[in-house]
Structure 1
Amino acid sequence: MSDVVLSIRDLKQHFAIGGGLFSKNKYVYAVDGISLDVKSGETLGLVGESGCGKSTVGRTLLKLYEPTSGKIFFEGRDITDLPVREMADLRKEMQIIFQDPMESLNARHTVGGIMAEPFEIHGIGTPEERRMWVEDLLVKVGLPKTAADRYPHEFSGGQRQRIGIARAIALKPKLIVCDEAVSALDVSVQSQIVNLLLDLQQEMNLALIFIAHDLSVVKHISDRIAVMYLGKIVEIGDAETLYKEPKHPYTQALISAIPIPNPRLRNKRIILKGDVPSPMDPPAGCHFNARCMHATDLCREQRPELVSVGENGHQASCHLVSPSP
């Protein structure tokens, strides 16, 4: 894990809504200025409550959404304003696995046709070679070669997600965004898919951005974890440190909610008050101040910066945390 595959700097994604002849547009501040680096062979977990902007980050850095502002670098190359044709060529290196495999697979096509499509789009191989590659990919993700002649509805949810994974690795990418890739699956199947992703990562030296809201799954798969709240990263660090010594009150509350697999032990739950504020009108100062039991006047007036709070790149944005010297 030495080379940085992806860097984003002060990335923002604001969606205009409403507005009319005599009124101005309002904006949803889905992603409001985040910076991240992802290295080869590394898994970066991206966690937070629903609506915090996790999936928007993933889709924006892949240029499925054009960013409002900020910079996106892939292997040191600025791709923020890359022309459509050049971006199409680059998509071989950057792939995504969606949450719902049934929605992301064309029900009218066979699995073989779906998986051959990346090769066809980029003009790679003959029909015979594509068929061979499709069958090899199916075997690699734990499915029989004969699955190529069947349709998506003939498979279980876990099997369909394996097909989605096979399609994502078809062109041997360097980065894959896993957008809630196991959230729609049974718990027993989740572990199988996570282990498959880890095996493929080791074999192909993949960089993964693993977006999820289940912190126990994220802990198992991630090298580093970034915690998002209302469009901002509030804490980031290596997985072990962040789980053992969370600094931000929001991270502490999320971790306190993780079930302990021992009926004799119980976590001391931190119950957050109120609801998540609207991303159309985020609070002044720290975005978390309205729900934080430790909030002060400073928290309500001044937005905290993401600063170093420990070793191994551990950072948090909280006025109540002492920065590392």
Structure 2
Amino acid sequence: MFSRSNSPAMKFICVTLLIISGITDSRSEQYEVVGPADPVLAVAGEDVILPCSVKPNTSVVDMRVEWFRLDLIDSQLVHLYEDHVDKNTNQIESYRGRTKLNHQELQRGNASLKLSSVRVSDEGLYKCFIQSKSWYDDAIVNVSVEGNMFNSWRTSVILISVFVVLSVIAGILIAVFAHKNKERDQLLKTILPKGCFYFEVQVKGQTEWDLGVTRQSANRKGWISLSPDNGYWIVGRRDGEYQARDSPDYSFSLSVNPQRVGVFVDYEKGLVCFYDVESMSHIYSYTDQCFNEKLYPFVCLGYWSNGNSTPLIICDD
């Protein structure tokens, strides 16, 4: 048992022991916050991890972890973890919903921050600050965002890929189209007569008539407009005037009324020519026509005001 005379000495000893104990506890809680030595490269539009950890590996679950921007004048808070929860009420508006700490990794001393959907404005200096009850330390993380050259290169790659795909599709369509045309040409060669044909029609004494050629599928019922659009290539006579049933009708006069009209057809050239056989003169021609069917001779006698009811005659001599 200590006497009253020894009490000051005992108090000194107790205080000394408390100071030594506090210093020991403080030293045992000391740690170093470590960040990356080189700048962190991020790509606009993608996610990036901002590394930050403590050495030696110590759980920071019970500590305060704060990430903030060093290069902004106004509100600087990027992310705050305290009392075991994230507290981002005062977070910079542009970072809302884009920052995250891995709480499981906090137990291993890893306080790295995940930043989602990186923007060009995210480039800058970040500080990772970690504070315990008796110690704190921080590390600087430099973030560099590549949003121009890389994206332009990627856009170019995408455009080139699209161009290649479209070129392949166009090539396929051209090949199919060429194949179809080849099949069509071969079919037409089997259906249409090769080369040309010619016939003559006796119109002597007739005052109204129409003659020429018509395609096989042309409409022959009801009132018909005798035009190439409907499959008729015709020359006729009405009221003493000659007409080509073109689109539109073309009227012309002849110095001599033909007695016999010759009709010459060339499938390949798309040509239908009409001649006055006796005077050996040209009457009219349809040129640059498209014949995709077999053509047949066509003759029609005007019944309403024709002075001669003798039928038109297709000559075979």
- What is the TM-score with the length of structure 2 in the denominator? 0.22
| Higher fraction of helix | 1
| Higher fraction of strand | 2
- What is the TM-score with the length of structure 1 in the denominator? 0.21
Higher RCO structure (Cα 8 Å, ≥6 apart): 1
Higher-Rg structure is 2
